[in-house]
Structure 1
C-alpha cells in the first residue's frame, strides 16, 4: 500500500511526488527554455487545482509526466508568441509614466510661478523657456528692449523666480494640525 492508496491529503501527495516532479521538471526545463523551479512550481499549482476539484490522480506518476510536458509545451508556445523589449523598461530614458507625470507637474508649477513674476519677467522667462530656443537678439526684439539690458533683466527675473520657488518648497504644510 502506497501513500496514494489511502485517503491522501495534499501534504501526503506532495511528499510522495516531490522527487518525481523535481526530476521531470529538471529534465524538461532546458527544452522549454525555462528554469526547472518555475516549471516545477507550475506543475504543483496544477496538481493542487486537481486535488481541490477531482481529487488525486489515479496514476500519479503518469499524471506528473503529462503535467510537466503540458506545462513545458505551454511555456514554449508562450515564448514563441512573446517579443522581448528592445531595452529594459527601467533603462527607458523617458522613465515611464510616473516620471512623465512628475515632469509634467514640475513644468506646470514652473509656468505658474513664471506667470506670477512682476513686470516684464513673465514675457522674458516664457521666451527663454520656449522649445524653439531663441537667441538673445530674438528675445530682445520680441520684448522691444535692447540686447544689452536683456542680461541684467534676465538675472533679476531668475532671482525673483528662484526666491518664489524656494519659498513655495520650503513652506511646510500643516498636516492634521490646527493653527
Structure 2
C-alpha cells in the first residue's frame, strides 16, 4: 500500500490545505452557542497540529484528530471563560457562602495573625510604619507621615524598604511551592 501523499510529513502544506474546510466546519459547529469564537478555536487547532507535526508527525486519522482537537479546544475555552472575571466598573460579587465559611474565616484570621507577628519582628521604624499601613481606617500618606513624625516624601522609600524586609522574612518562613505538572 502506498503512503497517502496528503499525510506525508514532508508535505505539511497539503495536509493543512486538505484539513482547512474540516477545521473551519468543526470550529463553527462548536461555536454555535455564541460563547466562543470559531476563529479562536481554529487558531488553537492549527497550533496543536503544528506542534503535533513538529513532535511526531501527522495524525493517522486526521478527521478524527481534528474533531477531537476542536472539542478539546472548545472545552478548554469554556473552562477558561468560567474562571475569568470582568475588570469593568461593576462590582464583582463574592462567591456565595464565602463569609459564612468557618474554614475561610479561620484561615484569614491565621493569615492576619502571621502578618502582624512578622510586622512586629521587623527592624527599626518598620513596625510602626507597617502597622499604620495595615490600619483598617486606611489612612492617607499625609496622615501616616504626620502620625510617625516624618516627611511625606520619605514615606515611599521607607515603605519600600520595610515591605522588602517583610517579604524576605515571610519568604524565609514559608516553604517555596513545589513544581506542579510535568517538568521540562
What's the TM-score, normalizing by structure 1?
0.45
What's the TM-score, normalizing by structure 2?
0.44
Q: Which structure shows the higher helix fraction?
A: 1
- Larger radius of gyration, structure 1 or 2? 1
